[in-house]
Homo-oligomer: A and B are copies of this chain.
């Protein structure tokens, strides 16, 4: 390239990067030759010389005992896609990192300028590796016990409350929560918000723990045991959508009509929820927004700009669908109390299970 233009590599570099002292004529000439030759500076060499690779890592943290695949959740896929776009917009590319034994070694194999970790769990190996290297880090969701870093998060507490209020407005009096033991800030928020909402409204908390993976299966189990217990709930909220779908199936199997006898809702919107029968009411988290903001925040850090805010909140919204549709009867009476009364006066709500 340098020879082709009849100048030194220095001049080429200066011409192409708008640096140095060059007359416009030379600059243009070099650029012209570069264009003709289809010359592109070697990215690796640039990275080595410049000390920045223009590569960002995107990792999904996860607990060892909950081996769910990335692909299980539309949430992650959407976030990832948005993050890729945002990165590209700023001239960065995204490297995918898995949180397994091999994932850790990726930081050795690739020089990333910074990392986004989704739903971090304290002590996670990827998190530790990032810290050890003192890489700029943005998390989506906070790191429980260490909320000082840079993060983008939904306001899950507010979100949970608005969902619970929605269920109450639809006539629910005995709202149960299905969730996992809190490891991420998200599940902790959900749990606390639920408990405080229960305290505020005088509802007795009913919590069913999901174990055995965040799948339809575990939701089915948890919902079944809730619905079969004494004093079963008249609404079930799951902190993830797949178990909520399982709850739908469980209700069906027990002959409990949704939404007439039981309201069901889940967090995270998905095709699966939309396609369910009845369609699943969801707490929308706007993962595309989260992915975008996380990358933009990270880019600020990488490029040495002090971000205006260290923490960003993305609003949630209740996406009401068939699974929590208020029955006609309830619709005519004023919201909370009256709806609850109408519900209470209904005759025994259990039918014989269609299959036991």
Contacts and interface: CB of A to CB of B under 8 A. Distances in A.
Interface string A149-166: 000000000000000000
| Chain A interface size, under 10 / 10 to 19 / 20 to 34 / 35 or more | 35 or more
A80 B96 contact: yes
A72 interface: yes
B109 A93 contact: yes
A343 interface: no
B109 A43 contact: yes
A277 B276 contact: yes
A187 interface: no
Contacts of A69: 78, 81
Contacts of A132: 38
A111 interface: yes
A70 interface: yes
Chain copies in the assembly?
Answer: 2
B44 A111 contact: yes
B216 A40 contact: no
Interface stretch (A174-182, A225-233, A265-273): A265-273
Nearest to A89: B102
Nearest to A55: B110
A95 B98 contact: no
Nearest to A108: B40
A71 interface: yes
A354 interface: no
A45 B108 CA distance: 12
A298 interface: no
Interface in A33-76: 38, 40-45, 47-48, 53-55, 69-72, 74, 76
A203 interface: no
Contacts of A275: 216, 245, 248, 272-273, 275-276
A94 interface: yes
8 contacts: A70-B81, A71-B74, A71-B81, A76-B77, A272-B275, A273-B275, A275-B276, A276-B276
